[in-house]
Structure 1
């Protein structure tokens, strides 16, 4: 599943490709998961000009000239393809612009979905200034026995972080993923906040350098702990375990709080 850094770069590239273009036609191929009648999508999107493409949490947000917003959640296996590609399969929906450019969202599991006027979340994005010590400390204090990695991945706590970047953030903060969230001291909470901002910002820069035109997928060759490499750049062996049903990567540098 693409996480915040990939989606940030994807949103910027979609914006460069399609902003200020007028939609000729949106075609919905899978109607079961729609949050509104399919005719509402056609009525509100067809003939409208795309003003901008942004990212918020793990959603891409297309903003149109009539103040309608179309959200895209790629889920686990969703992909975006330019309509110029050959043999596109498993389409969920596609948008064709008047200049005949466009893109399709595909998903062989049919989990990806368009969302008409998605409800704005009150949960902070990981890069928002509102995701700070004053916000996170009481959340962790109320988390009882939950581990810190589970909290960071919880989209009802902070939006945009998934399995890989939770590992990267906690490695940078030197906090073990299985640490009890409620036992983490204030200084380490501050380290987690700082690491969240720096790790994600650096990842956006790295992805932009490696794949400047990407509009789909995950670029992770630069990750330091969530990787197939045997050791981190600090020369510590990377340990692996199952935690919360997800493969988790960590080293002995990271302290366990319990």
Structure 2
């Protein structure tokens, strides 16, 4: 019997523990609404004191007589029209607008700085479109002066130009143009001035290359004429004297005869 009684008590306690009841307290609901943004209605400060219900005075006194400044004071919702949180949100929005303006300004300054950098810096001069499309090709011979000096030139002309010092002069002038060209690519100057330097170097290179071709052509003609005259003299000496003399011996004979003919 005792066991059955205990089981009934435990069963009742179990049902009472797991039972749920929805509480709708207007005072709590209105207070939650006052704590955020929804309302600050003076008629919704409950519990209220009603003269025809003397029992309501105790709840009213415990709630509002202890906090007269809250019930009768100003609207202090944080999200009201002029509330603290509303002001913070408005300030945050204003700061966002200001931040976007400064970001745009900073981006403009950044783009301007990059444009100035690309315009002046020699570090990125190799990416210039006009340089890549024209001047790089026109001034490519400066990259290998030795290989371009004697293209399709006979060996005797090469030897003559080297011995006469003409090649040394040509190499010195070309090397000077190459150094100027490299400096023009590295120096930090305005893009327009850099292009003018390229153009001036290109014109000087063309003039020097034409001069060098002229010297090669004249040297080849001179050597060919000299060889022809040598063969003619040798054939004439064989025909008239029956002897063969070298070119130096012939020149010595001419000088001796010239001295003898002097008064």
Higher RCO structure (Cα 8 Å, ≥6 apart): 1
Higher strand share: 1
Judge same fold: TM > 0.5, yes or no. no
Decide which structure has the larger Cα Rg and report it: 2
Higher helix share: 2
